[in-house]
Amino acid sequence: MTGRITFWFDFASTYSYLSVMRIGGLAAARGISVSWKPFLLGPVFAAQGWNTSPFNLFPAKGRYMWRDLERICAARGLSFCRPDSFPQNGLLAARLALAAAEEDRIAAFTQAVFQAQFGQGADIADERVLQGCLRVSGLAPGLVQRALDPAIKSALRAQTDEAIAMGIFGAPSFTSGAELFWGDDRLEQALDHAAAVTI
Amino acid sequence: MTGRITFWFDFASTYSYLSVMRIGGLAAARGISVSWKPFLLGPVFAAQGWNTSPFNLFPAKGRYMWRDLERICAARGLSFCRPDSFPQNGLLAARLALAAAEEDRIAAFTQAVFQAQFGQGADIADERVLQGCLRVSGLAPGLVQRALDPAIKSALRAQTDEAIAMGIFGAPSFTSGAELFWGDDRLEQALDHAAAVTI
């Protein structure tokens, strides 16, 4: 039996970009299957009294994050282009990702969205940008209709509630059994845990 | 000429424990000299509107931090014992560290204090605990008098101001030239940067 890991990410999250681009390869190399779970950080932050990203609320932390991200992308050969606005509205992208999951394309679609946003600086609240992401990940443009279905909307809300119930407070996060790991820096540790646990 | 790195830490900072226990060995292996700079996170947090550690203000983040620290200590063979209170008052420890620096013993003294606090759960605001740390690091008990000297007090304030001016917002942090690296997770990256820059 193979190990399993659950990957929690928010479409506006800068550090989620790093994990989105590498979790598939790292997990496959260890024989671990990945459950991709988009959720919304907005309600998580609101519960902490924040009305925007902590990277905007705390400017020194924000300046550092952008430089840190730029350095890591350079070291990993990932393209990087800081978008004009941050955080972007990732609601439609998250709903589309759940619709893409129904067609077994969530990984490809999610990578396309993060590359557009942080690799090219595109605005992922723009439906034309998302249509490009659907196209490159082999999905039909009509998936937008499915993304607006009440079932998808409530699934995303439920996934966000589940994240909060798991103790998740930021993204990316990874869960393996009862263990929570936060941040791209913990991806290897999370995968090691998942590999050691036979489910 | 050897590379140089500046190591910024706060005596109440949990993740500083991880770096305090390994920076000496990692830096020496790369031929890098370390400048140990204790500072006070209190004024840094106050500037962000926080009256205590974010690990207390944001309970989910705090619960995660303690579990994360416990896992990392276990993986590294570091003893870990969560102190009764957090954050502890590290003011006297920080002043003593500056006095220990005058005798070229800041690394040994700092390691002793962090081991007492997070390895044994001791209260580092207790002068008897700090006396034990002085003893194991080869320093005289009378160093407490030196630590209370106005010159030491103002040096600690100046170092804290310098940290803020460098854009530091948490601990541990590392600076190499104009680059800032935050967190024990960035220690290797910071050392690589210092090794690549000849000063």
pLDDT computed for residue B90 by the predictor: 96
Portion of chain B with pLDDT greater than 90, in percent: 90
CATH code where residue B37 lies:
3.40.30.10
pLDDT digits (tens, 9 = 90+) for B41-72: 999 888 888 888 889 888 999 999 999 999 99
Phi-psi region of B183 (alpha: psi -120 to 50; beta: other; left: phi over 0): left
Separation between Cα atoms, residue B79 and residue B160, nearest integer Å: 29
pLDDT computed for residue B3 by the predictor: 93
Q: Given A64, A167, A170, which is nearest B167 (Cβ)?
A: A64
More confident residue, A13 or B45: A13
Q: Encoding tokens for residue B139? A: 């320093």
Which residue of A lies nearest to B182 if distances are taken between CA atoms? Answer: A64
pLDDT computed for residue B13 by the predictor: 97
Q: Given A63, A179, A181, which is nearest B167 (Cβ)?
A: A63
Q: Contacts of residue A189 in chain B, CB cutoff 8 Å?
A: 71, 75
Task: Flag whether residue A48 sits within 8 Å of chain B, measured between CB atoms.
Answer: yes
pLDDT digits (tens, 9 = 90+) for A51-96: 888 898 889 999 999 999 999 999 999 999 999 999 999 999 999 9
pLDDT digits (tens, 9 = 90+) for A133-146: 999 999 999 999 99
Portion of chain A with pLDDT greater than 90, in percent: 90
Side-chain half-sphere CA neighbours of A143 within 13 A: 29
Separation between Cα atoms, residue A141 and residue A131, nearest integer Å: 6
Q: Which of A25, A19, A21, A17 is nearest to A7 (CA)?
A: A19
Task: Flag whether residue B180 sits within 8 Å of chain A, measured between CB atoms.
Answer: yes
Q: Is the pLDDT of residue B131 over 70?
A: yes
Task: Flag whether residue B142 sits within 8 Å of chain A, measured between CB atoms.
Answer: no
pLDDT digits (tens, 9 = 90+) for A171-191: 999 999 999 999 999 999 999
Q: Contacts of residue A60 in chain B, CB cutoff 8 Å?
A: 167-169
Q: Which of B41, B56, B58 to mutate to test the interface with A (most CBs of A within 10 A)?
A: B58
Confidence of residue B198 (pLDDT cuts 50, 70, 90): low
B12 close to B88: Cβ distance less than 8 angstroms: yes
pLDDT computed for residue A75 by the predictor: 96
Separation between Cα atoms, residue B173 and residue B167, nearest integer Å: 10
The SS3 of residue A156 is helix
Handedness of CA A126, A131, A134, A139 (dihedral sign): positive
Q: Is the pLDDT of residue B1 over 60?
A: no
Q: Which domain holds residue B130?
A: 3-196
More confident residue, A199 or A86: A86
Interface TM-score (ipTM) > 0.90: yes
Side-chain half-sphere CA neighbours of A133 within 13 A: 32
Task: Flag whether residue B86 sits within 8 Å of chain A, measured between CB atoms.
Answer: no
Q: What is the dihedral of CA A102, A46, B185, B107, to 10 degrees?
A: -170
Residues ≥6 apart with Cβ < 8 Å to A83: A117, A118, A121, A122, A123
Task: Flag whether residue B186 sits within 8 Å of chain A, measured between CB atoms.
Answer: yes
Q: How many domains does chain B have?
A: 1
Sheet holding B32-38, edge to edge: B32-38, B3-9, B173-176, B179-182
Q: Encoding tokens for residue A18? A: 């790093």
pLDDT computed for residue B57 by the predictor: 87
Q: Is the pLDDT of residue B5 over 60?
A: yes
Q: Is the pLDDT of residue A48 over 90?
A: no
Handedness of CA A71, A72, A77, A79 (dihedral sign): negative
Mean pLDDT of B13-20: 98
CA distances from B146 to B38, B44, B102, B149, B150 (A): 16, 26, 10, 5, 9
Under DSSP, the state recorded for B51 is S
Task: Flag whether residue A169 sits within 8 Å of chain B, measured between CB atoms.
Answer: yes
Q: Which of B143, B16, B6 is nearest to B72 (CA)?
A: B16
- Cβ neighbours around A78 below 10 Å, total: 17
**CB within 8 Å: B169 and A67:** no
**CB within 8 Å: A180 and B67:** yes
Confidence of residue A198 (pLDDT cuts 50, 70, 90): low
Q: Please give the distance of CA A162 from its chain centroid, rounded to a whole number.
A: 15
Q: Is the pLDDT of residue A1 over 80?
A: no
Quickly list H helices, chain A.
14-20, 23-29, 41-47, 54-57, 59-76, 91-101, 106-114, 120, 127-136, 143-147, 150-165, 187-196
pLDDT digits (tens, 9 = 90+) for A19-39: 999 999 999 999 999 999 999
Peptide bond into A141 cis (omega under 30): no
Q: Contacts of residue B73 in chain A, CB cutoff 8 Å?
A: none
**CB within 8 Å: A169 and B68:** no
pLDDT computed for residue B50 by the predictor: 86
Mean pLDDT of A6-11: 98
More confident residue, B198 or B153: B153
Q: Which of A92, A75, A90 is nearest to A14 (CA)?
A: A90
Mean pLDDT of B102-112: 98
Q: Contacts of residue B60 in chain A, CB cutoff 8 Å?
A: 167-169
- Cβ neighbours around A48 below 10 Å, total: 14
Portion of chain A with pLDDT greater than 70, in percent: 98
